[in-house]
Amino acid sequence: MKKGVADTLLDELQKAINFALKIGGEFADARFETNRVGQIGVVNGSIRTFNSSSRSGVALRVQFGGAWGLASITPADFESIKKATVRAFELAKKSSKHSDKKISLPKITTYKKKLKTRVKINHEDVPTDEKLRFVKALDLAQAETDKRIVNRTSTYTEDVGNYELVNSLGCQLQWDEIRTSFLALSVASEAGKQEFSYNRKYGTVGYELVEEADPNEFGHRVAKEAVEMLSATKPPSGIMTVIVDPDIAGLLAHEVMGHASEADEVFRQRSFLGNAVGKRVGSELITMVDDGTVNQAYGSIPFDSEGTPSSRTVIIKDGVYKGFMHSLETAGEFHSKPTGNARAQDYNRRVFVRMTNTFFETRDCTIDEIIADTKEGLFAVKGISGMEDPVGGGFQARVLKGYLIKSGQKKDLVRGFTLTGKALDILKTVDMVGKDLQLSGGNCGKGEEDWVPVTSGGPYMRAKIIVGGG
């Protein structure tokens, strides 16, 4: 039977791996990937973005002694791949002369699999004009909501990646990753005052995400929220009882506890959680996981960039810290198992330990019960941004808006503010946790580069947090 193009490519990658071992490499992997991104953006009724870009290449990685070598090329014949393999090996060999550490990779179960994402509607089957009509409808809905809406942004993005990976442990893998998202953002202005609101939908799904949405309702709701913010009052400040929504809970999970639980940060002694395993880090209501298998979540992946299957990793269980997320290398360092968290932005970037879908798990309270049980406090809604602090363990988040709570009832709307404090201090004061899980997708960098798609979230949670006025 005649081999297909993909099978032929796997053979070429396998030959490169065999060659890497022959010339002295101790471990090697080769990953071919193609990525196509399409985006449409409309700002105030005008098309600002209307493009489709694609790129593809092969990453050759070789380990020798205590070092790695990485070489990447655009698709080419085997001789070019072979030369890149030599470059990767030589880089590892030279680097190992300056390294006194040893790399001992764990034994893993090898896989030979081909996985294809099932979507209801393929992006390619939808005319571009139809996608543009959807984005324009988002824009128009915002414009027609209120004359105080002065700026509008609407975007649609589709992202399709195809991957093939072979390594010297025996894995031969083929898979794809399909993501779709859209966003609406409104700015309202009145009497020299400006406020904004936004909303976004996303998932590892096809165009059905758009088909199942009502652009008029979606855009109108965002614009209405922006207008409502014009009447918001000044927020309070000081240490308060705060109910955070799932979006803000996700910032705490991701930016502080998540990054500090990436084992490469722990190994480099850049994590405040390095000695936390087995210790209490939160109330008994706190359980936190990183789970790359969540159905349709934006950060879900079948395999990581080393070929390890995605998995569910318990980081905190009932308030007790359980462990870290791992790559092959860090799993060897910590005598643990790889967790499927070794991820690279693309074929031209190195692999780091990265999160997938990181969130606090639910308990049994409704949001109404949490509010009713709160005599006085603040209900924080929609996180705008969070600060990454794996070294110090500090939490800082900018919040779009909030509501004062008095005698168990949600009262006045307040404008943006900050939430700060030590992450562990906050988690140890959590005394109520909701039963509804919500996840928010986006892209995360390791520091300020090497971006990968992730999700964070959780339920509604109540804790003691320092509030900074807007």
Q: Does residue 286 sit in the same domain as residue 367?
A: yes
Q: What is the pLDDT, as a whole number, of residue 470?
A: 63
- Is 170 within 8 Å of 295 (Cβ atoms)? no
Q: Does residue 11 sit in the same domain as residue 57?
A: yes
Residue 48 lies in a domain: no
Per-residue CA distances from 217 to 140, 149, 182, 230 (Å): 11, 16, 14, 21
Q: Does residue 103 sit in the same domain as residue 185?
A: no
Residue 249 lies in a domain: yes
Domain boundary among 190, 208, 229: 229
Q: In 3-state terms, the chain is what percent helix, strand and coil (to 5)? A: 25, 40, 35
Q: What's the CATH code of the domain at 184?
A: 3.30.2290.10
Confidence of residue 198 (pLDDT cuts 50, 70, 90): very high
Position 5 pLDDT exceeds 60: no
DSSP 355-408: -SEEEEPP-SB-HHHHHHT-SEEEEEEEEEEE---TTT-EEEEEEEEEEEEETT
Position 176 pLDDT exceeds 60: yes
What percent of the chain stands above pLDDT 90?
Answer: 93
Residue 79 neighbours by CB under 8 Å, 6+ apart: none
Residue 45 lies in a domain: no
Position 339 pLDDT exceeds 90: yes
Q: What is the pLDDT, as a whole number, of residue 211?
A: 97
Domain boundary among 77, 95, 114: 114
Q: Does residue 303 sit in the same domain as residue 194?
A: no
Q: Does residue 254 sit in the same domain as residue 346?
A: yes
Domain housing 353: 238-468
Q: Does residue 355 sit in the same domain as residue 455?
A: yes
Residue 357 lies in a domain: yes
How far apart are alpha carbons 370 and 305 in whole angstroms?
A: 41
Q: Does residue 170 sit in the same domain as residue 288?
A: no
Q: Does residue 254 sit in the same domain as residue 191?
A: no
Residue 145 lies in a domain: yes
Cβ atoms within 10 Å, residue 390: 22
Number of domains comprising the chain: 3
DSSP-assigned letter for residue 262: B
Residue 24 token pair = 């002295």
Would residue 458 be called left, alpha or beta, if left means φ above 0 and alpha means ψ between -120 and 50 degrees?
left
Position 169 pLDDT exceeds 90: yes
Q: Does residue 110 sit in the same domain as residue 147?
A: no
Q: What is the pLDDT, as a whole number, of residue 1?
A: 32
- pLDDT, one tens digit per residue, over 235-263 is 999 999 999 999 999 999 999 999 999 99
Position 428 pLDDT exceeds 50: yes
Q: Does residue 18 sit in the same domain as residue 82?
A: yes
Q: What is the mean pLDDT of the chain?
A: 95
Q: What is the pLDDT, as a whole number, of residue 2?
A: 40
Per-residue CA distances from 1 to 7, 10, 15 (Å): 12, 16, 21
Q: Does residue 166 sit in the same domain as residue 289?
A: no
Q: Does residue 250 sit in the same domain as residue 351?
A: yes
Residue 442 lies in a domain: yes
- Is 285 within 8 Å of 363 (Cβ atoms)? yes
Position 466 pLDDT exceeds 90: yes
Residue 242 lies in a domain: yes
Q: Is the dihedral of CA 211, 214, 216, 218 positive or negative?
A: negative
Residue 46 lies in a domain: no
Domain boundary among 114, 142, 162: 114
Q: Is 0.75 topped by the overall pTM?
A: yes
